[in-house]
Amino acid sequence: MQFSANLGFLWADRPLPDAIRAAKAAGFHAVECHWPYDTPAVEVKAALAETGLDMLGLNTRRGNVENGDNGLSAIPGREAEARAAIDEAIAYAVQIGAGKIHVMAGFGQGASARQTFVDNLNYACGKGAKHDLTMLIEPLNQHDAPGYFLQTTSQAANIIETIGAPNLKLMFDCYHVGRTEGDVITRLQELLPIIGHIQFASVPDRGTPDHGEIDYRSVFSEIEGFGWSAPLGAEYKPQGDTDASLSWMSALV
């Protein structure tokens, strides 16, 4: 079993290149991030080359965070901003060798939001295909992100089917699915053909995976049994120092 450190939460108090080095020292097999754009891509690329780690993926910008944005791609009337964010993410991913981009939907409801999201995803998939990039969409639970457009794996699967692009996949976050839908192992089994990346954290507190409502020892074993070999994304919130939170890496495998 291999793990990827999500540097949006792990070692988040360090500059991104130093967080990459910390992940290598801790024994992670890869890294991923949220919004790396304030760090020059050349610095991230150098840290990846130094450590030999791959950056699996990154997110499109959220928009105007001070005004409450959490993604742009499902917001009617903001298509130009959404596509600029997609273009930026693609350019950054290409520079650092990342293979996947999470296209954040944002807050919106109804048919117009869905059509806007579909149109922007078609744009993203077309642009991304030129660089062999996979686009990911991720349902967020309504406890953490009330009003977020993409709420369930069924909704995401329907959109993926509608678009039909081979480089559009589901980001399956066991934490969000556990909070919204439950029965994580069954949903993994059912959705495996369209899953592009898997993440995890404890439910309900989004902490380390060695406690809470989900038995991750069983989940990891099932995932391995599926033949899944890509690193799983550790996207949990450490209570204090990240290095002090890592005993789960040996305890659960």
State the Cα–Cα distance between residues 124 and 83, nearest whole angstrom: 8
Q: Is 230 helix (H, G, I), strand (E, B) or coil?
A: coil
Q: Is residue 43 annotated as part of the catalytic site, yes or no?
A: no
Pairing of strands 168-173, 195-200: parallel
Q: Is 132 exposed, middle or buried (0-12, 13-18, 19+ CB in 10 A)?
A: exposed
State the Cα–Cα distance between residues 70 and 60, nearest whole angstrom: 10
Which residue in 138, 181, 190, 224 is the catalytic one?
Answer: 138
Amino acid at 214: I
Torsion, Cα of 45, 47, 51, 54 (10° steps): -40
Q: Is residue 235 annotated as part of the catalytic site, yes or no?
A: yes
State the Cα–Cα distance between residues 126 and 135, nearest whole angstrom: 10
State the Cα–Cα distance between residues 113 and 94, nearest whole angstrom: 29
Amino acid at 48: L
Contact 11, 53 (CB under 8 A): no
Q: Which residues are catalytic?
A: 138, 235
